[in-house]
Homo-oligomer: A and B are copies of this chain.
Amino acid sequence: MPEPGTGSVVSDQLLERYEIETFLTLAEELHFGRTAQRLRVTTGRISHVVRKLERRIGAPLFARTSRVVQLTPIGRQLADDLTPLVTGMTEAVRRAVEAGRGVTGRLRVAFLGEWTAPTLLRAVNLFTERHPDCAVEVREVQLANSRASLLDGSVDLLIASFPFDGMACGPPLLAERRLLAVAAGHPLADAESVSLEVLAEFPVVQYPPATSAEFKRDRTPERTPAGRPVPKGPVGNTFSEMLSLVALGRGVLPVGELTRRYHSRPDITYVPIHDAPPIHRGLVWSESNATARIREFVRAATDANRN
């Protein structure tokens, strides 16, 4: 059976790189010795390659005696056709390398909740100092479209709380204690601190379905460290809505320490959880957008927030 789909954008008429290099260099030098020298090969190689090319084209590309080498009409035509195309290809590759490996151009970084802005700004300052040629734009994104912003490339980097499912993550830049948010009149409201085990005894307000499973497992686990099941409370659609459910006494919610500072309200009490690991925040980005710019910014952020 005559296998289908063999026809391609890339017809099999393409010349090898060494053939193009040899042909165009010889077309420019018109001298086998100098051509060989420039390409760091022997004159024998030049002779072989040109001969093979000519056998393929079906006509001489160079008229050569042992004293003078010149292009034939067909050779001249081919050289004229090829030169701008080759220039264009090297330019295209150069641009791609610049985009991937260069630390220039533009980098868009975003924060998610204003309390992370200072950490991000320290990183921006150090990065800009190290790479003055790369313009950094800072913006704020909303939780709802943070993932989409990274995926569609409208934002290169984001400082967010871990875990951030499906994205590449840098080292943690911020660590905060975990607290339990309870209603003001809740039985635990007066405790000095609580253990994670209390989650088995009260319903826990749930994140909306769109939230990644990994994130939910970290914030609202299904079992306590001892293995006791955690009763699921009602679902809130936004973080404010979740806090309101807590205030209404419909459940409790583990949160980070910074939440207290930015969401302090009289109807909610925050009680430290003494045996929970801290919540980490750091830079996240799309794996597929990884560039030298991004790697360098992560490094700068790490250095700037090392203390």
Contact = CB atoms under 8 A, between A and B. Distances in A.
Interface of A: 3, 5-6, 8-11, 13-17, 20-21, 24-25, 28, 34, 37-38, 56-60, 62-63, 72-74, 77-78, 81-83, 85-97, 99-101, 153, 286-292
Do most interface residues of chain A lie in helix, strand or loop, or is the interface mixed? helix
A3 B38 CA distance: 9
A167 B182 CA distance: 101
Contact of A13 (B60, B63, B93, B286): B93
Nearest to A19: B17
A14 B93 contact: yes
* Copies of this protein, total: 2
Nearest to A93: B13
B8 A57 contact: no
Contacts of A62: 288
Contacts of A58: 97, 100-101, 291-292
Contacts of A85: 85, 88-89, 92
B288 A63 contact: yes
Nearest to A64: B288
